[in-house]
C-alpha cells in the first residue's frame, strides 16, 4: 500500500481525544482509506490554529477489465522512459529523430490557416480518400472506390482496432505470426478472439508452412499479418503469400494485412496480398502516413477493403474516434502525391543508415539477422552472457547508454523471444555512430 502526506493540524488540547482514534485507525490502514466515519471523527477534532501533523492516505487499487489484466505499460513507453532517465540513446522505439518533408508540413499549416479545423467527415476528407485510392492503384494495380472502400483512421493502430472490433466476434480464431506488433494481441483480447500464433524463427524468419496449415480450422475467422514485418524486417515472399491466400480461400477466412512499412522495402519488391487472385474481396489492407513521411505524431492511417468489409470497419471507427485530424488529413493528401523520386531517396537514405547500424552491431559482437524491410533489425544478444532479452536491455540502458527493445513481449510464449532484441535505425547517422561507439566501448563478448 502506498501513502502520501498532506498537512493537518493538531494541538496538545486535542491530542488526548485523538490519540485513541489515531492509534486504532493507523493500525488498520484499510480502515483509514475506506471508513467515512473515521474521517469525520478526525475532521471534527481538528483545529485550524493547531500545529501540523501528518495524515496518511492510501491510493485505491488499480482497476482494469479482466480482458486487459495481463497487459502492462507498453514496452515502448517503458524503454523510452528509461532512456530519458539514464540519458541513453533510444534505438528502441520506432520514431525518427529527424523531421518529415517541408512540403507536407507546409500543407498542414496552410490547411489550418484556411480554416480546416472542425470535425472531418467520419471516414475521411475526400481529398485524402482519393489520394489513398490513387496510391493503392499505383502500387497494386487495384482500382478501389475512394468513397466506399477507403476509411481514414487515427493511425494504423486505430485501423487495426477498428478492423478487429468491426469484423471479429468473441471466440473467433485469428492466426498471427510471432513475433508481432504488441497491439495485435491486446486488441484481439479486447474483442475476445482466440489467438493462434505461428512462430517465425531465425535466421530467415520464414513461414513454417506445415504449422500454418495445421493452424487453420472451421473456426478460423482471419489471418492477421504484417509485411514488411515488425520487428524482424522480414518480407513475406510471393510463395508464402500464395500459401496464405489459398488457405484463406479454402477456409473462407479473411486476411488483415498491416503494410505500414511498404515503402521501406530494400531487397525485394513489396507485394500486397490483396493484389493476388481472388484476395481483394477477403482482405483489409492497413497502412499509414507516419513511417513513410517521418511524421509518426500525426497519427494518420487508413483501411482499404471491399464495401462488405468496410461496413464493419467503419461501424467500429465511428465509435472509437469518429473522425481524424482535419488539417493533417489535408496535408496527408498532399504527401501521397509525392513523386516516385521521394520514395527512392527515402529508401536510399535508410539503406545508408541500416548499413551503419548493421555493420556496427556485427563489429560489437552481435549475431545480426537479415532485414529486408522496415527500419528495424533483430539480433541475438546471447554472446554477451545475459540471461534473457529483458535483462540484456536493462543492462544496455543502465551500463552502456543505449536502448533496444526486448522481443519476448512480441510472442505469446515469451521464451520464444528471450534470445533476441530489436534495434531501430530511423535515427540520424551521427546518433547511430555514437550508439555503436558506446556499445563497442562497454559491451564485451562473454567467453
CA atoms within 13 A on the CB side of 360: 24
* Neighbour count for residue 245 (Cβ, 10 Å): 20
Closest by Cα among 319, 320, 302 to 310: 302
User: According to the model, what pLDDT value does residue 1 have?
Assistant: 40
User: According to the model, what pLDDT value does residue 83 have?
Assistant: 85
CA atoms within 13 A on the CB side of 384: 26
Could you tell me the three cell numbers for 374? 522496415
**Residue in the block written with cell 475506506:** 34
SS3 category, 23: helix
User: According to the model, what pLDDT value does residue 70 have?
Assistant: 85
- The rounded distance, in Å, linking the Cα atoms of 231 and 118 is 37
Could you tell me the three cell numbers for 111? 490547411
pTM: 0.86
User: According to the model, what pLDDT value does residue 79 have?
Assistant: 81
- The rounded distance, in Å, linking the Cα atoms of 156 and 289 is 9
Q: What one-character-per-residue DSSP string does 98-151 give?
A: S---HHHHHHHHHHHHTT--SPPPTT--HHHHHHHHHHHHHHH-----TTTSEE
User: According to the model, what pLDDT value does residue 447 have?
Assistant: 67
pLDDT averaged per 10 residues in sequence order, the chain, 447 residues: 38 37 40 39 41 66 89 82 91 93 98 98 98 98 98 98 98 98 95 98 98 97 98 98 98 98 95 98 98 97 98 98 98 97 97 98 98 98 97 96 96 97 98 98 90
Residues 129/150, Cβ–Cβ less than 8 Å: yes
Strand partners, 420: 380
Domains defined along the chain, listed by start: 3-58 (no CATH), 70-93+341-442 (3.90.1150.10), 102-338 (3.40.640.10)
User: According to the model, what pLDDT value does residue 55 have?
Assistant: 56
Amino acid at each position: 500500500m502506498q501513502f502520501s502526506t498532506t498537512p493537518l493540524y493538531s494541538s496538545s488540547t486535542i491530542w488526548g481525544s485523538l490519540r485513541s482514534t489515531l492509534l486504532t485507525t493507523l493500525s488498520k490502514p484499510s480502515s483509514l482509506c475506506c471508513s467515512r466515519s473515521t474521517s469525520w471523527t478526525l475532521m471534527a477534532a481538528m483545529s485550524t490554529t493547531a500545529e501540523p501533523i501528518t495524515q496518511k492516505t492510501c491510493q485505491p487499487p488499480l482497476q482494469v477489465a479482466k480482458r486487459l489484466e495481463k497487459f502492462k505499460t507498453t514496452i515502448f513507453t517503458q524503454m523510452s522512459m528509461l532512456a530519458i532517465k539514464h540519458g541513453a540513446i533510444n534505438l528502441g522505439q520506432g520514431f525518427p529523430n529527424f523531421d518529415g518533408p517541408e512540403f507536407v508540413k507546409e500543407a498542414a499549416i496552410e490547411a489550418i490557416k484556411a480554416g480546416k479545423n472542425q470535425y472531418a467527415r467520419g471516414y475521411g476528407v475526400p481529398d485524402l480518400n482519393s489520394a489513398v485510392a490513387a496510391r493503392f492503384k499505383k502500387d497494386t494495380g487495384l482500382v478501389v472506390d475512394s468513397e466506399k472502400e477507403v476509411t481514414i483512421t487515427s493511425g494504423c493502430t486505430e485501423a487495426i482496432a477498428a478492423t478487429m472490433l468491426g469484423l471479429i466476434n468473441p471466440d473467433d480464431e485469428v492466426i498471427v505470426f510471432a513475433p508481432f506488433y504488441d497491439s495485435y494481441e491486446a486488441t484481439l483480447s479486447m474483442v475476445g478472439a482466440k489467438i493462434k500464433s505461428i512462430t517465425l524463427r531465425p535466421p530467415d524468419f520464414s513461414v513454417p508452412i506445415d504449422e500454418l496449415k495445421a493452424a487453420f480450422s472451421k473456426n478460423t475467422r482471419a489471418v492477421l499479418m504484417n509485411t514488411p514485418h515488425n520487428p524482424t524486417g522480414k518480407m513475406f515472399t510471393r510463395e508464402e503469400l500464395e500459401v496464405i491466400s489459398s488457405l484463406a480461400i479454402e477456409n473462407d477466412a479473411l486476411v488483415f494485412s498491416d503494410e505500414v512499412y511498404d515503402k521501406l522495402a530494400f531487397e525485394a519488391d513489396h507485394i500486397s496480398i490483396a493484389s493476388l487472385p481472388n484476395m481483394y474481396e477477403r482482405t483489409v489492407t492497413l497502412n499509414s502516413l507516419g513511417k513513410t513521411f517521418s511524421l509518426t505524431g500525426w497519427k494518420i492511417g487508413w483501411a482499404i477493403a471491399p464495401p462488405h468489409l468496410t461496413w464493419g470497419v467503419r461501424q467500429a471507427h465511428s465509435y472509437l474516434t469518429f473522425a481524424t485530424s482535419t488539417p493533417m488529413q489535408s496535408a496527408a493528401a498532399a504527401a501521397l502525391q509525392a513523386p516516385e523520386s521521394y520514395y527512392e531517396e527515402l529508401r536510399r537514405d535508410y539503406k545508408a543508415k541500416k548499413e551503419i547500424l548493421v555493420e556496427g552491431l556485427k563489429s560489437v559482437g552481435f549475431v545480426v539477422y537479415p532485414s529486408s524491410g522496415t527500419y528495424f533489425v533483430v539480433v541475438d544478444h546471447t554472446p554477451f552472457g545475459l540471461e534473457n532479452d529483458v535483462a540484456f536491455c536493462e543492462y544496455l540502458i543502465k551500463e552502456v547508454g543505449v536502448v533496444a527493445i526486448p522481443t519476448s513481449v512480441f510472442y505469446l510464449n515469451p521464451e520464444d523471444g528471450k534470445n533476441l532484441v530489436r534495434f531501430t535505425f530511423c535515427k540520424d547517422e551521427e546518433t547511430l555512430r555514437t550508439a555503436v561507439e558506446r556499445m563497442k566501448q562497454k559491451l564485451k563478448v562473454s567467453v
